[in-house]
Amino acid sequence: MGLVNWKIKPCNFQIKSIIVIIISILLLRATLSSSPGFAWFQKSKSSYGINHLTGPDLRATVRKDKFFEVPQIVWGLNNQKIALARGLLTARFLNRTLLMPSLSATLFYKEIELLQPMQFDKIFDFEKFNSICDGFVRLGRFSELSNKTNPFVLQKGSGRKWTKERDLQQLKEIVNDKKLHDLELVRIVEKNPFLWQDHWPVRDYAEIFECLVLINEIENDVVKVISKIREASAKAKNNTNNAKYTPAMQYVAVHMRIEKDWMIHCKKWEHRTGMNQICSSKKEILDRVSHITCINPPVVVYLAIADSLLEDDSVLQGWKTGLLPYEKKRLGVWEIYKKYPYLIQSAIDFEVCSRADIFVGNSFSTFSGLVVLSRTQKLLKLGFTNLCDNHKGLDVRLSSYAYNILGDMSGSPKQWMTDMSDSSLQKISYGTNNVSCDVNMSNS
């Protein structure tokens, strides 16, 4: 085999060639970085990989000089979180920054005069939100507006004729309207964002929820509550000789939906839909929690319940031996909670449930659904996509159950992980009896 006779180039020619190559690379990079595809590619290098969707349109990174405004966000904490995310994703679709919306400190249904507004940054860290969600969605302050007097006011459609397709078409018309493109502010009026048509996949919502970090004052109180639970857990450990006790399992959190208004609502819901897996009595909840085989008593069971039930000691009675129920007053943390309005109390409970070793909730509760979504996110980052074998002795931390649905094991509740392939948040927003112990990633 003969040797190849390579011609050695003069040194100055090599230098010129290298310079040309470098310039070409820089020009190519500049061209790509200005395209929507490159921006999406950069952001999509998340835990979901290259096929991560960003709604019905893949757009460039969000503009900081064009804004989008939504009405005041109302109802429960987790309905408000969904409404906030829906506003952010709509703003992203329009390639705009969402002006920091006003949340509601109190529960709101029809009593407008009782509505207490609360700014986003009084509960969530504004700077951390934009830092974590950088390149995906963005929040802005009203002080960033240069012209507050000339917005484009948009009326969202309503009624049965206002379909998902019509809603999406309206958004596309805004995107393609050159006159609106030049306006600094687009404002949607009247309709609460929770009630908007949903065009966004579960994974987009999950990404936004991960950016919602509590401000330091509230986070510190979350830590205090969990520390109290750990103290109760340590005391239980010291008072038992049970060899099966697992020191690493510090507590189980149960979201008990047994309030009178909930029971009236869910009974009507069951009658209307023909389903019988929405409501659960206190007795049924206690029985199904006691049948979770991976719980090794004694263990603290933190009860996330409505404040109105704190006066009712019956929620602490009837638990199986070794399951040690605690609510806010028995735990000695009611002083922490009562200094805050409803919204922040709910946010603390959400974090306590989200960080529990085992969580048990109702699959028709938005609170429970978002807790499980948060826990599923954590499990995915740890490499877990299936919890079906937990009863065989695998690590059970961060596992979740739906007590309103009977599981595969005799008497136990159904294991529950969020379906990450869903094209909308319908199941979490309004509930479902179709839950699974593994993550569906078929569209990822």
Whether the per-residue pLDDT at 57 is higher than 50: the answer is: no
The predicted model gives 135-147 an average pLDDT of 95
Read off the pTM: 0.84
Task: Give, in degrees to the nearest 5, the angle at Cα 342 between 123 and 361.
Answer: 95
Whether the per-residue pLDDT at 30 is higher than 70: the answer is: no
C-alpha 52/C-alpha 45 separation (Å) is: 8
Establish whether domains 67-209 and 216-430 are of one fold: yes
CB of 320 within 8 A of CB of 290?
yes
For the domain spanning 216-430, the CATH number is 3.40.50
- Give the architecture (CATH level 2) of 67-209: 3-Layer(aba) Sandwich (3.40)
The predicted model gives 418-433 an average pLDDT of 94
Whether the per-residue pLDDT at 383 is higher than 90: the answer is: no
Give the range among 35-39, 83-87, 148-152, 267-271 with minimum mean pLDDT: 35-39
pLDDT digit string (tens) for 89-120?
A: 999 999 999 999 999 998 765 555 567 899 99
pLDDT of residue 33: 44
Sign of CA dihedral 79, 405, 357, 321: positive
Give the three-state DSSP class for 301.
Answer: strand
Domain ranges of the chain: 67-209, 216-430
pLDDT digit string (tens) for 329-370?
A: 999 999 999 999 999 999 999 999 999 999 999 999 999 999
The predicted model gives 72-96 an average pLDDT of 95
pLDDT of residue 150: 85
Give the range among 49-58, 270-279, 303-312, 424-433 with minimum mean pLDDT: 49-58
C-alpha 1/C-alpha 221 separation (Å) is: 77
pLDDT-derived band at 191 (thresholds 50, 70, 90) equals confident
The predicted model gives 410-424 an average pLDDT of 94
C-alpha 134/C-alpha 312 separation (Å) is: 46
Whether the per-residue pLDDT at 56 is higher than 80: the answer is: no
Residues 6+ apart with CB under 8 A from 158: 191
C-alpha 353/C-alpha 359 separation (Å) is: 6
pLDDT digit string (tens) for 265-320?
A: 889 989 898 888 899 999 999 999 999 988 888 999 999 998 776 667 789 999 99
pLDDT of residue 148: 74
What is the residue type of 243?
Answer: A
Give the ranges where 184-341 is alpha helix by DSSP (H).
202-209, 216-238, 260-273, 282-290, 328-331, 334-338
